[in-house]
A = this chain, B = another copy of it.
Amino acid sequence: MKQTGFIYGGDYNPEQWLDTPEILKQDIEYMKAAHINEVTLGVFSWSALEPQEGVYEFKWLRNIIDNLYENGISVILSTPSGARPKWLADSYPEVLRVNADRTNNLFGGRHNHCYTSPVYREAIYKIDRKLSEQFGNHPAVTIWHISNELGGDCHCPLCQKAFRQWIEKKYGTIEALNKAWNTAFWSHTYPSFEQVESPSPRGEQELHGLNLDWKRFVTDQTADFVSWEKKAIWEGGSELPVTINMMYDYKGLNYHKFKDLIDFASWDSYPTWHKEEEKETALDTALQHDFMRSILKKPFLLMESCPTATNWQSVSKLKRPGMLGAASLQAVAHGADSVQYFQIRQSRGASEKFHGAVIDHYGGMDTRVFEEVTGVGSQLLELSEIAGSTVRARAAILHDCESRWAMEDSQGPRNKDLHYMDVLKKIFHGLRKLGLDVDILDMEEELKGYDLVFAPMLYMFRCDIETKIRNFVAKGGTFVMTYWSGIVNENDLCHLGGTPHQLMEVFGLRSTELDALYEGERNSGKSTGAFFEKEKRYECRNFCNLIRTDSAETLLSFETDFYEGYPAFARNSYEKGKAYYICADFEESFYDDLCLKLVEEKGLLKVPFDIPEGVAVTSRENPLKKFLFIQNFRKDKFLVNLRNTEWKLLMGDDTGVIGQYGTAVYWTVNQEERA
């Protein structure tokens, strides 16, 4: 079933309604009324598909899929490994997880399986392969969705053994491991690989090298499990594309390590709309969309979102009229090729029974939510030609999962809170407010192709990022880095001889000390006039980095404390480019002003109007056309004037007025591609 345009649908659990066929029938009528063209099936269906070991029941699912197909609705089919049947856990307790405290789990919950267990792998292989054989070539089925929201870890003996093999493969000799983890500290030298155990609150917790390698192992083992499921699907005869559904700012896995395994990135987005001002929530969500899109740098899927209030937040608000449209189209504006909900029909019982759904317990179409869902369906039809187009960013931010793991695990200058994501967001917001599309990169990637790259708190240097940064600047790039960067190597061992490691020449300075500030404490940086306007001042908190400049020029200097007069912001020219070093956690306006100056300098401004706070400007393009999304997350309406420009209206009001939660889309010919 070849789809054109956007995928519109969501999770659907007919196995909960098999004894009410009239409801199943009605569901399809409702989907069609709402322009829904897809459902995701099978996410938690293992018990229904294999009610006893080796006894399969595919008929009900075939009926459902056939019916959907006949009604023009495609299927994303999920493997059922996100939860296992009771009989499997009872017959083979090894499939359940062992926690870090070495207690073993009982049956229950969702993410509760050992991804190493051969028994679990065998069981999942069988059901996945069967699913592939049964439905992998069904014309309705378009994509495989592997497991569900992968995460967590297992400390069972099987996983311990796998971890030991993993570290042996990595280090070769136990001496190399002892050196890399600096185990001489506290006399924790390992006599052999066989004696290494995973971190535990009952044992070793503060050996950062061990913690870090454990997290890497968990990611690798989880990825290996996904490979295994893919193998079962392939061997079942299906070659459809594959995705995994990822989560908001999830730190349990390094998602970048999955990029060779999936054909699409997809994620489940549940912003707390109406908690903060919408413009704040919109910026926060924009960052996640960009993070997910950057993994493969191509269109992603919005695999789950909620048509109205969720049921798991501390306070679950209704989505105000129009909010669903704004949130759905925001995903599209950032590169999504789908809008999908959890879920189509609300379940009657158990823990998500009050989670918002397209069809609620009342069960009628005459609901506010159903009308909004239908409206979004119409808009997606209007925008069909945009599906498949990409986002091309010229600015990027380095966010490296492994560096963050190490930094947040280390006991250092501010255990209370590093405010890492706050700084990253201030940079992201500074760029987004100017309408710039931004990629979020990890350290394994290349910097070429970007004009402007930021590195907030890049604590760890790995993958020879030193050379990449040096070359980037040497060739004319503008690179901005903050305090607490270049401190440790890939094993969290501190670099000797001065930091930022191997980049002191590029930045023209050396970091000497890092002062941490208490919650109420403030300092400020005052402009020397060399970059910002003379006398301009920016407040800072949390961190003040003392540096000794060499060739670098001081742009701001600290105003108080014993380091009054020391540089607080510095710039160095290095070959054809410029390297900026930020010494303190400055307020938002610093980043806004900095981004504006650098973006202007680089000529990256995109639209011929000032973008007020709360208005979001984003773009996608295909070889023929460029598309411009303008979304209004403010209370007041916004008037956009693109008359007498190249931009033509694709969706929105002719007058240029965009109301609260409204979206306008413009297009123009893609001159660059043509040239």
Contacts and interface: CB of A to CB of B under 8 A. Distances in A.
A250 B491 CA distance: 35
Contact of A107 (B52, B85, B203): B203
11 contacts: A13-B184, A85-B187, A107-B188, A109-B205, A208-B353, A315-B517, A316-B412, A320-B562, A346-B494, A352-B411, A362-B497
A183 interface: yes
A275 interface: yes
Contacts of A106: 102, 197, 200, 202-204
Contacts of A512: 362, 367-368
A301 interface: no
Nearest to A18: B184
Contact of A518 (B315, B348, B562): B315
Contact of A209 (B197, B275, B321, B350): B350
Interface string A360-394: 01110001110000000000000000000000000
A204 B317 contact: no
Contacts of A513: 308, 318, 367-369
A185 B110 contact: no
Contact of A350 (B104, B207, B275): B207
Interface string A79-103: 0100111110010000000010111
Interface of A: 13, 15-16, 19, 44-48, 51-52, 80, 83-87, 90, 99, 101-110, 179-191, 195, 197, 200, 202-209, 275, 308-309, 311-318, 320-321, 346-354, 361-363, 367-369, 410-416, 491-499, 510, 512-519, 561-562
Contacts of A346: 494
| The 6 A-B residue pairs with the shortest CB-CB distance in the complex, in nearest-first order | A106-B203, A182-B349, A108-B204, A108-B203, A206-B351, A185-B350
A185 B13 contact: yes
A183 B107 CA distance: 13
B189 A86 contact: yes
B348 A188 contact: no
A579 B361 CA distance: 24
B316 A516 contact: yes
Given A185-B351, A318-B513, A497 B105 contact: no
A203 B320 contact: no
Contact of A197 (B107, B309, B312, B367): B107
A309 to B, nearest CB: 7
Most B Cβ at <10 Å: residue of A187, A275, A492, A497:
A187
Contacts of A309: 413, 515-516
B492 A312 contact: no
Contacts of A351: 185-186, 206-208, 411
For this chain, the copies found in one complex come to: 3
Contacts of A180: 349
A363 B496 contact: yes
B411 A354 contact: yes
Most B Cβ at <10 Å: residue of A182, A346, A352:
A182
Given A197-B106, A362-B498, A311 B350 contact: no
Contacts of A348: 182, 493-494, 496
Nearest to A367: B512
Contacts of A516: 309, 315-318
Contacts of A186: 44, 83, 109-110, 350-351
Most B Cβ at <10 Å: residue of A108, A320, A367:
A108
A321 B102 CA distance: 48
Contact of A191 (B52, B183, B514): B52
A413 to B, nearest CB: 5
Nearest to A175: B19
Nearest to A189: B47
Contacts of A308: 513
A108 B214 CA distance: 15
A457 to B, nearest CB: 14
A349 B493 contact: yes
B354 A184 contact: no
Contact of A353 (B107, B316, B410): B410
B182 A107 contact: no
A51 to B, nearest CB: 7
Given A16-B182, A206-B350, A314-B416, 7 more contacts: A45-B187, A46-B187, A47-B187, A102-B106, A275-B518, A315-B517, A317-B518
Contact of A412 (B311, B350, B368, B519): B311
Nearest to A148: B186
Nearest to A23: B496
Contacts of A318: 513-516
A499 B202 CA distance: 45
A60 to B, nearest CB: 11
A19 B103 CA distance: 40
Contacts of A497: 361-363
Nearest to A46: B187
Contact of A184 (B15, B80, B99, B562): B15
Contacts of A47: 183-184, 187-189
Contacts of A313: 415
Most B Cβ at <10 Å: residue of A102, A185, A191, A208:
A185
